[in-house]
Chains A and B, each alone.
Chain A
Amino acid sequence: MDLTLTPKHRALREEVDAFIAAHRDAAPRPGGGRKRPDRKALDWQALLLKHGYFARTIPREYGGFGAPHDVIELAIIADAFSRAGISPGIHNQGISMLVPTLLEVGTEEQKRRWIGPTIRGETIWCQGYSEPGSGSDLAAAQTRAAVEDGHFVINGQKIWTSSAHFADMMFLLCRTEPDKSKHAGLSYLLLPMSAPGIEVRPLRTMTGRAEFNETFFTDVRVPVDQIVMGRGDGWHVANVTLKYERMLLGDPNKLQQRLEATRRMMEQPGADGARLLDRAEWRDRLLRLQGEVIAARNHNMRLLTETAEGVDSGLGRFIVKYHGTMLAHRLASLALDVMGSTGLLYEPQGEVAEDDPATTWQIDYMYDIGLIIGGGSSNIQKNIIGERGLGLPREPKAAVPAGRN
């Protein structure tokens, strides 16, 4: 264990604090990722990239800052932004899931073409994974892509495609080798959402907004080279992406942001002039969650170190999504309780404007349920933790009733 701050680290901390102090008015409200970044968010992203506070370790030739991997530097930057309650930049499926996937298994051409515009927030991606008949059983995907004169021709349907209504591109898991076994018949394609034959129908959720969509494909043509790895490698690539998706969903910096935001609310005097932070029962609720967030952040530091040293964290990594999404929901729950009846006011602004704090917390509180389910539901996570992490046996297959499959 060596977390000694070198003079370089101390300088970085001062530099980031000074940056935030100088530029905080230019920052968009933290959170988001459920809307297309507006001008303010894009300008902020460009500023963060320029200073190396975003995509810090992504090589320069792909549009990143090109700094060597340093766990402490990343922690200093994340900590400074969450302490200040300032947006640490855009986190969406393209940036947090596709970019690391391409870095891990993409071709040089794919990295050069896609990473830059994606991390700048200019190219928005959506994920074509779930189908009406394949949710938790993702490898059962039936959307077909047949090869005809140098193109994949895609037919089928995806569901829960968040951001599809404003995305530019999709990474799609589909069946290209129908003669091969379930897992070996899949491929991972990259396609523009503007391609003819794609129809996006918004799916209104419990938040009252349409964060998700159903996406229909009718003879959608994609050049055969728009594939990550080879034909039949889709399950492998999809799992690389899922690995990053699950890390994103359990992001401890988001937990820290929420904790700090809730603490700030509890420091404000209420209508009776009293602060909730001064009341033992409220303080203890916050403190319990703080302890859990500290554990999550320390755990994340351990995982970052292991990743940097090429160690497979196994169990340590498998728990992150389940642990993080459940904790995030409990943080939002406390925030709602702190706001009490004034937090019931709910006026979502849709795509056009920022939501007020009460509405944002209510949306987070509900959307968190979606995150607990999405990216592999908590039950799927517990199967993975139990089977791959702890070595417990798989559930035996039960027979499917005749006429259903």
Chain B
Amino acid sequence: MRFGLTEDQGLFGRSLRGFLADRLPLDALRRLAETGTGFDAELWRGLGELGLHGLLVPEEHGGAGLGMLDAALAAEALGYHAAPAPFAAALVMAVQAFRSAGDAEQQRQWLPRIAAGQARIGLGFAGLAGQTGRAALRLEGGRLSGALDGLMDGGEATHFLAYLADGRAALIEAGAPGVTATLRRSVDRTRALVDLDLAGAAPVALLQSSNDPLAAARRVRDAGRVMLAADTLGAAQNMLDRAVAYANERVQFGRVIGSFQGVKYMCADMATMLEPCRAMVWYAAYAQDAVPEEAAMVASHAKAHLAEVGREVARLATEVHGGMGFTDLLGLHHQFKRITFDRQALGGPERCRHDAAVAQGWVAA
């Protein structure tokens, strides 16, 4: 009966952050971000060795069978270090998609491949989550045609999972005939977006086993929103930590600038906004597994609230660094852009709050 992390979870978060700190010093991050694909084979392998690929995959399918809170801690660590690694879509939403709408055979076939790091699934949710861009797919005679923009984790993906407007999802091989995937580098060079143009592509699987496909799709959306909220929490915490460290070391007027109330209060304001977000993300993640009646509401609220707090922290932390914060030299902008990305993906805060209102019956969808 407690509200907090277990010892194992604390250890898991710390060891993942340690690994990422080791693998992603600024020069390495700068190099990896140049491609803009949001993927690096070596980092991907390393994360697999730490168990990230199969984190949410049930043990019977070769995974660790852990929960959404464990996944949120991983997302937080990835955001903290702005890691160019597929996660929210490829390792959380995709698993959730198979578990909520895949039949037993599809789960048996695909979940072990996800857990092994072999299937890296870019995921397109577009219209269902309120993302902007094209979202017009037709499934006719078992063939998929049309356009879907803004797929997450799509750079170097082996497969794409494209959601239809009715909540069903089609899995397509990346290089299959009729599939044109255009990589769009985003302002966040650690994560790309992919635009799909399909002309009679043949899905390798159609996830349609749920008797309420839209509800199943919303669960996938909510899992993704919690991960993006956790990612922002990590990125914003990184920016705050660095602002505090900088304020403790930079000297002007013969004093470290952190002794000036003007600077101190910027740091205090960031901490005041951000600290309650930690518990909010924990609860939103936990609710996905354990509190079904609140899961949708708190997922959307966490996504929206972290987007607002993240934006403030991103600005204030950059400001504390003065001109240096604006340069590429410190690399603070990687987290700044991470926060920028998280805000728009899977729906901006206004849309998320609207979904929270729908989830508690204040308004019709």
From B3, B5, B271, B304, contact of A315 by CB (8 A)? B271
Contact of A392 among B5, B248, B302 (CB under 8 A): B248
- For chains A and B in complex, what number of residue pairs have CB atoms within 8 angstroms? 153
Residue in B259, B275, B354, B363 whose beta carbon sits within 8 Å of that of A395 in the complex: B259
Residues of B within 8 A of A302 (CB): 3-4, 278-279, 282
**B261 at interface, CB cutoff 8 A:** yes
Min Cβ gap B214→A in Å is 22
Taking a contact as CB atoms under 8 Å apart, the answer to whether A396 and B280 are in contact is: no
Closest to A1 in B: B286
Q: Quick one: which of A291, A305, A385 contacts B4, CB cutoff 8 A?
A: A305
Is B189 an interface residue when CB atoms closer than 8 A count as contact? no
Q: A1-B282, A2-B1, A319-B271 in contact; A386/B264 too (CB < 8 A)?
A: yes
Q: Is A391 an interface residue (CB 8 A)?
A: yes
A239 within 8 A of B: no
B244→A391 contact, CB < 8 A: yes
Residues of A within 8 Å of B, CB-based: how many?
50
A316 close to chain B: CB less than 8 A: yes
Q: Please state if B350 and A284 are interface contacts (CB–CB under 8 Å).
A: yes
Is the beta-carbon distance between B290 and A385 smaller than 8 angstroms?
no
Distance to closest chain B CB from A68 (angstroms) = 11
> How many of B's residues come within 8 Å of A, CB to CB?
48
Within 8 A of A (CB), among B256-285: 256, 258-261, 264-265, 267-269, 271-273, 275-280, 282-283
B-contacting residues, A337-356, CB 8 Å: none
Closest Cβ neighbor of B294 among chain A residues: A294
Contact: B362 with A291, CB < 8 Å? no
> A181 CA to B120 CA in the complex, in Å?
67
Secondary structure of the A side of the interface?
Answer: helix
Closest to A386 in B: B264
Are B363 and A299 in contact, with the CB atoms below 8 A?
no
Chain B residue with Cβ nearest A285: B353
Known: A1-B5, A71-B2. A392 touches B271 (CB 8 A): no
B301 located at the interface, meaning its Cβ lies under 8 Å from any Cβ of chain A in the complex: yes
Q: Are A392 and B276 in contact (CB-based, < 8 A)?
A: no
Q: How far is the CB of A293 from chain B (nearest CB, A)?
A: 10
Q: How far is the CA of A198 from the CA of B77 in the complex (A)?
A: 59
Contact mask for chain A residues 1-17; partner B; CB cutoff 8 A; 1 contact, 0 none: 11110100000000000
Q: How far is the CB of B97 from chain A (nearest CB, A)?
A: 24
Q: Which of B256, B276, B363 contacts A298 (CB 8 A)?
A: B276
Interface residues of B in 185-243 (CB under 8 A from A): none
Tell me if A31 counts as interface (CB < 8 A to partner B). Answer: no
A394 at the interface (CB under 8 A from B): yes
Q: Which residue numbers of A lie inside 8 Å of B, CB to CB?
A: 1-4, 6, 70-72, 277-278, 280, 283-284, 287-288, 290-292, 294-296, 298-299, 301-302, 304-306, 308-309, 315-316, 319, 322-323, 379, 381-383, 385-387, 389-396
- For the complex of A and B, the 10 pairs showing the least CB-CB separation, nearest first, are A299-B276, A298-B279, A386-B264, A382-B268, A392-B258, A287-B353, A291-B305, A301-B3, A385-B268, A295-B280
